[in-house]
Amino acid sequence: MRGLMMSGKLLISTLIVHADRHHGDTEIVSRRVEGDIHRYTYRECHRRTRQMANVLTGLGVKDGDRVATLAWNGYRHLELYYAISGMGAIIHTINPRLHAEQVAYIANHAEDQYICFDLTFLPTIKLIAAHCPTVKAFIAMTDRAHMPQDTGIANLLCYEDLMDAASDDYTWPTFDEETASALCYTSGTTGNPKGVLYSHRSTLLHTYAAALPDTLNCSALDVILPVVPMFHVNAWGLPYVACMVGAKLVFPGAGMDGKSLHELLETEQVTMSAGVPTIWQGLLSYMETNGLTFSTMKRTVIGGAACPPAMLRKFQDTFGVHVLHAWGMTELSPLGTVCAFKSRQLETSLEERYAVQAKQGRAVFGVDMKVVDEEGTALPWDGKTSGALLVRGPWVVSSYFKSEDKLDLKMDADGHGWFPTGDIANIDADGYLNITDRDKDVIKSGGEWIGSIDLENIAMAHPAVFMAACIAVKHPKWDERPLLVVVKKPNVELGRDELVAFYEGKIAKWWTPDDVVFIDALPMGATGKILKKKLREQFADYVLPTI
């Protein structure tokens, strides 16, 4: 027997309609590529979103067509988010930090019809323009006055010109909520990039879950600045969350340096932000160097890579900003777990609470997770036994876009498919996830695992260390041993022996890195993650002193 409730569909257009209707005066503030600060309201944003839907309809965009963006976080990008998905097409957010060949590969694989881009990325567009046969035109996200001249790009359109010519009379269509809404390729540390195709349903469910008090805890009282890019898993869902709850949105554009970020956080009275550890490292260094503080920031979400405990303490103890340590993936829309406390933990010591916060936290309702051994048997939740992390839920990928090789879901006895995350983790009795490694980054010494993240976290706690990465180096006796690669802070002294000694008493003796190498900069991926694969290649022939 079916229930007798209305059939209201979970569609992305309902988010911007709600924001307009219930928070029409709430602001959206953007630092523009053109150099200035732009501000308008949800009402105006919705109006222009409807105009853009008419623009795209006029350009022949149909249900299911892919329209790509190569853009910073900004209001025009937000308009494209809602216009493209809302009309039934698919927004394909491309990471502009990728090499031009990779951008072209992705655009061709996705068969993009149009590519909208911020002026910053014109050089990339110039390189790919002749190599993307499906692209009918490139749309520069700027006005007539800022349009580049003599680009050599055959079909170059101007975003604001198109907008000016379009009506704002548009009614959002209703369709099946399983319809695809957005496409995001994983950065592809191995093989070609793979596309994750989100649906309206998965996005709306993820948005509800993301806004919950124990997840990102967003309300109409919040001012949200997503540092995490809108080209990277939809800025962890924040552009959707903000509309659902009516929070003010602040977009940093290209200003991702410490100074620009701090200025915007302060002038716009931001209460909440989100990003990867490497970006925060830059902001915190800038603030410490210049003796700055936060006046409105309440909390920040840190994910994308494990948050070093030293950074956690700096945010909380020095700057009074609560850290929400989170774990997710492109394949998870992205939220899997967030580290929110349980009542009991609030009564424990500061040290015990920091130990909890160093973990990635509890599963958001909707996501189910387990760790399994090599035979696929579920491991106990004892906070010690590590295994491969598997997840499932309505915002978890079931297969990749146009993927020839089927995604290798792990089936359980009840017939449920589980997505293998590629992470190695343990889960404690309270359900707190602790990622100990990526399975490809694991160091296997004498048949036992050494957690590279633990070793990096200890190094990061040393006052002279700016960044650290730990990789496996071949060893004739132990098979692999850990090598620590470190970037020092400017103008400090730090030697190999001092750093090795720093591990004493903090970890099992045989986990201690066999050697330390100091370099000027770590290789970074397009989403701000350290590329350990590159490091391993670089140090493939490194000879450890213990050999």
- Show the binding pattern over residues 221-240: x = contacts a copy of itself (CB under 8 A), - = does not: x-x-----------------
Task: Identify the active-site residue in 14, 26, 142, 186.
Answer: 186
**Residues from 89 through 108 that contact a copy of itself (CB under 8 A):** 90
Question: Under 8 Å CB-to-CB from 421, ≥6 apart: which residues?
Answer: 329, 331, 336, 388, 389, 390, 391
**Residues from 429 through 458 that contact a copy of itself (CB under 8 A):** 430-431
- For a copy of itself, the closer of residues 26 and 281 by Cβ is 26
What is the residue-wise DSSP string for 265-284? Answer: HHHTT--EEEE-HHHHHHHH
Among 239, 309, 387, 393, which residue interacts with a copy of itself (rule: CB under 8 A)? 393
380 binds a copy of itself (CB under 8 A): no
| Residue span binding a copy of itself (CB under 8 A) among the ranges 116-124, 155-163, 313-321, 414-422 | 414-422
**Residues from 252 through 311 that contact a copy of itself (CB under 8 A):** none
- For a copy of itself, the closer of residues 196 and 335 by Cβ is 196
Among 208, 286, 518, 542, which residue interacts with a copy of itself (rule: CB under 8 A)? 208
| Residue span binding a copy of itself (CB under 8 A) among the ranges 23-31, 45-53, 122-130, 305-313 | 23-31
- For a copy of itself, the closer of residues 180 and 265 by Cβ is 180
Residue 4 burial by CB count (10 A; 0-12/13-18/19+): exposed, middle or buried?
exposed
- Rounded distance between C-alpha atoms, residue 117 and residue 128, angstroms: 12
Among 31, 46, 76, 392, which residue interacts with a copy of itself (rule: CB under 8 A)? 392
Instruction: Using the Cα atoms of residue 240, residue 242, residue 243 and residue 248 in order, give the sign of their dihedral.
Output: negative
- For a copy of itself, the closer of residues 209 and 522 by Cβ is 209
| Residue span binding a copy of itself (CB under 8 A) among the ranges 155-163, 176-184, 251-259, 312-320 | 176-184
Contact 277, 311 (CB under 8 A): yes
Q: Which three-class secondary structure state does DSSP give residue 301?
A: strand
Question: Under 8 Å CB-to-CB from 159, ≥6 apart: which residues?
Answer: 76, 116, 139, 140, 141, 142, 143
- Rounded distance between C-alpha atoms, residue 104 and residue 127, angstroms: 9
Contact 448, 410 (CB under 8 A): no
CA distances to 5, 14, 174, 432 from 8, rounded to whole Å, are 9, 10, 10, 35
Among 190, 343, 377, 491, which residue interacts with a copy of itself (rule: CB under 8 A)? 343
Query: Where are the strands (E) in 50-131, listed by range?
Result: 66-70, 90-93, 114-117
Among 106, 139, 211, 326, which residue interacts with a copy of itself (rule: CB under 8 A)? 211
Among 56, 80, 103, 205, which residue interacts with a copy of itself (rule: CB under 8 A)? 205
- For a copy of itself, the closer of residues 197 and 516 by Cβ is 197
Task: Reply yes or no on whether 449 is catalytic.
Answer: yes
Q: Which three-class secondary structure state does DSSP give residue 131?
A: helix
Hey, what are 137's tokens?
């035109």
Task: Reply yes or no on whether 444 is catalytic.
Answer: yes
- Rounded distance between C-alpha atoms, residue 443 and residue 448, angstroms: 8
Closest contact distance (angstroms) between CB of 199 and a copy of itself is 3
Question: Under 8 Å CB-to-CB from 198, ≥6 apart: which residues?
Answer: 180, 181, 182, 183, 184, 234, 333, 395
Closest contact distance (angstroms) between CB of 209 and a copy of itself is 7
510 binds a copy of itself (CB under 8 A): no
Task: Reply yes or no on whether 318 is catalytic.
Answer: no
Nearest residue to 358 (alpha-carbon basis) of 445, 430, 435: 435
Closest contact distance (angstroms) between CB of 396 and a copy of itself is 5
Among 76, 248, 262, 359, which residue interacts with a copy of itself (rule: CB under 8 A)? 248
Among 119, 218, 274, 424, which residue interacts with a copy of itself (rule: CB under 8 A)? 218
Hey, what are 353's tokens?
């609470």
Kind and range of the H or E element at 103?
A: helix 100-110
Contact 158, 144 (CB under 8 A): yes
Closest contact distance (angstroms) between CB of 504 and a copy of itself is 36
Among 180, 265, 424, 483, which residue interacts with a copy of itself (rule: CB under 8 A)? 180
Task: Identify the active-site residue in 79, 268, 331, 456.
Answer: 331
- For a copy of itself, the closer of residues 208 and 466 by Cβ is 208
Among 419, 502, 503, 539, which residue interacts with a copy of itself (rule: CB under 8 A)? 419
Task: Reply yes or no on whether 186 is catalytic.
Answer: yes
Question: Under 8 Å CB-to-CB from 298, ≥6 apart: which residues?
Answer: 271, 272, 321, 322
Among 212, 310, 442, 487, which residue interacts with a copy of itself (rule: CB under 8 A)? 212
Number of residues near a copy of itself (by CB under 8 A): 76
Question: Under 8 Å CB-to-CB from 81, ≥6 apart: which residues?
Answer: 12, 91, 182, 230, 234, 239
| Residue span binding a copy of itself (CB under 8 A) among the ranges 72-80, 242-250, 518-526, 534-542 | 242-250
Task: Identify the active-site residue in 444, 448, 498, 537.
Answer: 444
Among 96, 193, 237, 246, which residue interacts with a copy of itself (rule: CB under 8 A)? 246
- Rounded distance between C-alpha atoms, residue 391 and residue 218, angstroms: 25
Amino acid at 51: Q
Closest contact distance (angstroms) between CB of 159 and a copy of itself is 25
**Residues from 36 through 75 that contact a copy of itself (CB under 8 A):** 63-64
**Residues from 347 through 366 that contact a copy of itself (CB under 8 A):** 362-363, 365-366
145 binds a copy of itself (CB under 8 A): no
Hey, what are 219's tokens?
């309300």
| Residue span binding a copy of itself (CB under 8 A) among the ranges 198-206, 250-258, 260-268, 440-448 | 198-206
- Rounded distance between C-alpha atoms, residue 245 and residue 271, angstroms: 14
Say whether the peptide bond before residue 380 is cis (omega within 30 degrees of 0): no
What are the residue numbers of the active site? Answer: 186, 331, 444, 449
